[in-house]
Each structure stands twice: as C-alpha cells, then as structure tokens.
Amino acid sequence: MADSDSVRQRWHDVNKEIGVSEVVAERWWGVVRDLYSDPARHYHTLQHLREMFQHFDFAGGHITFCYPRLVTLAVFFHDIIYEPKKPDNEERSADKFEEYAAEVNVLSDVDCKKVKDWILLTKSHTALKGDNSGDEHYFLDIDMAVLGRPVADYDEYANQIRAEYIHVPEEIYRSKRAQILEDFLTRLPLFSTKLFQKQFEDRAKTNLIREIGRLRDNSIPL
C-alpha cells in the first residue's frame, strides 16, 4: 500500500472514531496530504507519518496508550507546518491543529490542550519529568525512533535532512547540525521509555556519533 493510502486510511479511521463526518475528514485529509507532500520536503513527508505509525503500532503491542486517538492526532499535526527557514513551525503546527479542532468540534478543551502541548514538546524533544510512562513520552520516542534506524536507512534520513536545509551553506550546516546531535548525546538516554531504549538506544547513539564524525570531517562530502 502506498504511503498516502495507508496514512489516509489511518486519518479516516481516527476521524470516524472521534465522530467527524466523512466529508469534513476528507477535506482535512486534503490539507494534511498537500502540506506533507510539499516538494521542498524530503524527510518530513507522508512517509515520515507512515513510519511513525509503524512505531505507534509497535508500542501499542507492548503497552496500552491512555489516549491513542489523541496520540494519533498529534502524529498527524506535529509537522504539518514545516518551513526550515522559520523558527516557529511547532507553534504553527499546533495552531493548525487548533483550527482543525475548532471546525470538527468533537474534542474537549482538555483533549485539545493535550494534543497542542504534545506538538509543542517536539520543539525541544523533552517532556516533563515523571515516571516516563505517559503517552507524551511514547509520542516523542515514536518521533525520535528514526535515530535508531539501520545504518543505510539512517544515512538516507541524514541526507534528507540536509536536502531540506540545502539553503544553508555547507560549513554552517555542518557546524549547526553537529551541535544539535552533540546536544542529544548530552541528554542520555536518548529515549524516554524503557521500551524504546531497549529497541533503539544503542543503535541511535552509534548513528549520532558516526554522523557527528562525518559532519566534523570536511573531507567527507555531504
């Protein structure tokens, strides 16, 4: 099944579950599809959503989400606005979710706030300290699981991120990207939940260290 088909089905399923009409859901699917299909995107695409839902299903095979529908909506909207030249993508993505929620008018204020808060957490990829078992921790780990890809797949991800930031001069990109990855390594463990730590932590650390070395070595082309 194509990325757009599987993700579209997931979209319609969650909208049906929360009581959104098929007509409204399909119209909003057009918004989701078009924004994630922007040709300027290389990683933050419908494929990214499909992969996140694979990790969502993996987690769901081991734990019970408290709010699975809200996590699903957070996945759909967390990168719906993505413009690498802008510093407020997460805030604008949360606003887009709020626009959707206001139109469908089936979610409580409390539920809307949860989804918005989770979207905003992706700005720093840190959640509030706690027992690390809440849905927000799994949501963040699902988004971060790309770091634990096999080597060749991780390299594809790294190249896609570079393509999204192709407007940044190479020297600056190398420095800034390396700083971001080094910051991740100061916050070990990389993943909040024991499930994702067991599944992805070691490979993710290896991938980050390897990419940092590649970024710091100017003789290795990006």
Q: pTM of the entire structure?
A: 0.95
> Binning pLDDT at 50, 70 and 90, where does residue 138 land?
very high
Q: What angle do CA 5, 191, 194 make, to 5 degrees?
A: 100
Q: What is the distance between the alpha carbons of residues 137 and 128, in angstroms, rounded to a whole number?
A: 9
Q: What is the distance between the alpha carbons of residues 107 and 144, in angstroms, rounded to a whole number?
A: 27
The closest of 20, 32, 120, 116 to 76, measured between CA atoms, is 32
Q: What is the pLDDT, as a whole number, of residue 173?
A: 97
Tokens of 221: 């082309």
What SS3 class is residue 143? helix
Average pLDDT, the chain: 95
Q: What is the distance between the alpha carbons of residues 93 and 116, in angstroms, rounded to a whole number?
A: 9
Asked if 120 and 91 count as a contact pair (C-beta separation under 8 A), the reply is yes
Q: What is the pLDDT, as a whole number, of residue 1?
A: 46
Tokens of 95: 């606003």
pLDDT 10s digits, 183-207: 999 989 999 999 999 999 999 999 9
Q: What is the distance between the alpha carbons of residues 116 and 96, in angstroms, rounded to a whole number?
A: 10
Residue 86 is given by DSSP the state -
Q: What is the distance between the alpha carbons of residues 137 and 17, in angstroms, rounded to a whole number?
A: 23
- How many other C-beta atoms can be found within 10 angstroms of the C-beta atom of residue 169? 10
Tokens of 40: 């300027």
Phi then psi dihedrals of residue 86, to 5 deg: -105, 145
